[in-house]
Structure 1
């Protein structure tokens, strides 16, 4: 069958934060700000670190196949795949701001998001074990419907 649902979302907060830090480091190095200016090696290490994090987390792509939910962050080095034998329940939820962005452990389980406060909580079975995951999305209604439609077609 192929891809049932696919949506990419840009993490503007991540881009803004890591971009700003990177620009500040560059300006601090070039202009030699402060009484102890930033030497070349620490500048390069910090710059590569923040630029690298930016490329790893600047977007999140959610892709739903027949029985597989795939999450891909940034340039694609971070990929998470959930194989679902049976969909049990889906619920649209709001995540509080203090749950943060990225890949997070929360009191309600794992959360994968990149922006906003809307997510979908997915309860499913995999190899006779109940599992749960929360996925941030700008269109929780469409993802919920795609999951439920895909589950009906399998069952």
Structure 2
């Protein structure tokens, strides 16, 4: 394994927590228990699924996944033409987004690594370690070039 890092989306988790606190407050004012508990369970599920983003580089692939891995994406090194450190615009937001530059996975901040694929498509991976991630992907790409 060349690289592995899990970034915690503190802003996303704080937003989910704020809504959960609001829901509990509303439950005290106007109890509609089944609906409120249902919403709290959904919030908890979203926090678990989208609260972290893990990126792994190694074994011929770049992999990234949210939370426990229900939502994931992977690229073979041979499918990657180039990689670059980029800065996302504030309005691209967090989560899974389709941006003008292609799809994006992000849980926090504005820094990302953009993977340029041989197909012409691009994919952004949000990270708080953009230079390390870019270097790891480049290292993997160089290993492919040496093997060819």
- Asked if TM exceeds 0.5, the reply is yes
Q: Does 1:44 align with 2:40?
A: no
Find the partner of 2:144 among 130, 134, 154.
Answer: 154
Query: d(CA) in 2 for partners of 1:66 and 1:151?
Result: 11
Residue 88 of structure 1 is aligned with which of 64, 81, 92? 81
CA distance in 2, matches of 1:84, 1:62: 14
Matches within 5 A, 1:2-151: 3-29=1-27, 31=28, 33=29, 37-125=30-118, 129-151=119-141
Shift of 1:100: 0.4
Cα contact 1:101–1:112 (8 A) shared by 2:
yes
SS of aligned partner of 1:116: coil
- The structure with more radius of gyration: 1
Of the structure 1 ranges 67-76 and 115-124, higher mean CA displacement relative to structure 2 is found in 67-76
Deviation of 1:76 (Å) = 2.4
User: What's the RMSD between the two structures over aligned residues?
Assistant: 1.4
Is 2:104–2:123's contact at 8 Å kept on the other side of the alignment?
yes
Tell me the CA shift for residue 147 of structure 1: 0.9
Q: Which runs of 5+ in 1 are unaligned?
A: none
Q: How many residues align?
A: 145
**What per-residue deviation string (whole Å, max 9, x for no partner) do you get for residues 83-103 of structure 1?**
332431111111011000011
CA contact (8 A) 1:84 1:124 kept: no
Unpaired runs of at least 5, structure 2: none
Structure 1 stretches of 4+ moved >3 Å:
none
SS of alignment partner, residue 91 of structure 1: strand
Q: Distance in 2 between matches of 1:60 and 1:78?
A: 10
Question: For the residues of structure 1 that align with 2:79 and 2:64, how far apart are their CA atoms?
Answer: 19
